[in-house]
Amino acid sequence: MNYLPDKETTFEKKVHTAKEKLFKKMISNEEHILSQFLPPKKEDKYSLHPKAHCFQLPVKDDINFIPRILYSTLNQDKILC
């Protein structure tokens, strides 16, 4: 009795996708209600390689959403800004 498809998406993947979507919306819309909590953007004088995002990194924090998502994007190849 296979009620679920073989390529079942786990709950963790769904949560991760939702967090990425929220973060992208916060970055792309400056009037988003949560964008006021983003750290200031940093200005790089040199652009030797593409950065994952354009924000100053706050103190590393595994509890709050914004520091956690900023640090997690550093390990990805996606460029968000």
Domain positions in the chain are 33-42+50-81
Does the predicted TM-score (pTM) go above 0.75? no
- Distance in angstroms (rounded) separating the CA atoms of residues 81 and 54: 6
Contacts of 54 by beta carbon, 8 Å cutoff, 6+ apart: 41, 42, 80, 81
Give pLDDT tens digits for 8-44.
678 888 888 898 899 889 888 989 998 888 888 877 7
Task: Specify the higher pLDDT residue, 15 or 48.
Answer: 15
